[in-house]
């Protein structure tokens, strides 16, 4: 890409580290950024830096947040006796978009995958079990319908059942191999409402 000046080439290269951004998109973004007013570019880069610096895991549910406890765990309006277990903060966001779920979450930050060498100790399972020592009525397992997601769901249900807490799994409205965040809200709601006891 030596037909661009050094600075522009570097910007294009940096943008390509983002997922889904190939050479063409990176070029388009780079030229857009260059044409933006300076203060807008400043705001964008300041936001990037401060988000990266201040972001951490919620001490209760392990979603990404910028305070000790995330807004959902801090909310008195939520039902803290109902915990939905998801793989990522993006999955949490997908369920929040439905606006119909009133419980809280537990974000595993991954899923069990023997193939990738990710075991139960590599995701936030211990932390989930610790939460279940409190006053919890139901654990809704909403991991993805992938091999890893199903393996994780089975593992969790086996862990939780002996505690006597109700364990449910979201319905099959979520297509097999489906990534939760790409599924529309109606399908997600249907999956949540049609959940079955494990």
List Cβ neighbours of 81 (8 Å cut-off, separation of 6 or more). Answer: 103, 135, 136, 137, 138
**What does the DSSP assignment read for 111-149?**
--BTTTTB-GGGTTHHHHHHHTTSS--EEEE---SSHHH
Q: For Zn ion, give the closer residue by CB, 63 or 145.
A: 63
**Minimum distance from residue 130 beta carbon to Zn ion (Å):** 14
Beta bridge partners of 86: 107
**Minimum distance from residue 61 beta carbon to Zn ion (Å):** 3
Nearest-angstrom CA–CA distance, 177 and 108:
18
Q: What residues line the site for Zn ion (CB under 5 A)? A: 58, 60-61, 70, 73
Region class of 71: left (phi > 0), else alpha (psi between -120 and 50), else beta: alpha
**Minimum distance from residue 31 beta carbon to Zn ion (Å):** 39
Q: For Zn ion, give the closer residue by CB, 70 or 170.
A: 70
**Minimum distance from residue 72 beta carbon to Zn ion (Å):** 5
Q: To the nearest 10°, the Cα dihedral for 27, 32, 35, 36?
A: -140
Q: For Zn ion, give the closer residue by CB, 13 or 68.
A: 68
Q: For Zn ion, give the closer residue by CB, 74 or 172.
A: 74
Q: For Zn ion, give the closer residue by CB, 124 or 195.
A: 124
The answer to whether the CB of 128 falls within 8 A of the CB of 84 is: no
Q: Give the helix, strand, coil percentages of the chain, each rounded to 5.
A: 45, 15, 40
**Minimum distance from residue 83 beta carbon to Zn ion (Å):** 11
Beta bridge partners of 103: 79
Q: For Zn ion, give the closer residue by CB, 73 or 188.
A: 73
**Minimum distance from residue 122 beta carbon to Zn ion (Å):** 20
């Amino acid at each position: 890409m030596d037909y661009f000046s050094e600075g522009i080439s570097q910007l294009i290269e940096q943008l390509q580290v983002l997922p889904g951004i190939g050479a063409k998109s990176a070029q388009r973004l780079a030229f857009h950024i260059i044409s933006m007013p300076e203060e807008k570019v400043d705001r964008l880069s300041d936001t990037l830096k401060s988000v990266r610096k201040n972001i951490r895991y919620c001490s209760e549910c392990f979603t990404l947040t910028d305070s000790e406890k995330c807004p959902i765990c801090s909310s008195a309006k939520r039902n803290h006796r109902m915990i939905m277990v998801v793989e990522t903060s993006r999955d949490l966001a997908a369920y929040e978009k439905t606006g119909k779920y009133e419980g809280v979450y537990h974000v595993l930050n991954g899923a069990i995958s023997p193939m990738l060498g990710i075991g139960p100790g590599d995701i936030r399972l211990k932390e989930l079990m610790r939460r279940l020592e409190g006053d919890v009525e139901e654990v809704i397992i909403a991991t993805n319908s992938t091999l890893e997601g199903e393996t994780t769901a089975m593992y969790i249900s086996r862990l939780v059942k002996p505690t006597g807490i109700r364990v449910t799994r979201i319905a099959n409205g979520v297509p097999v191999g489906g990534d939760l965040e790409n599924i529309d809200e109606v399908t997600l709601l249907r999956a949540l409402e049609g959940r079955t006891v494990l």
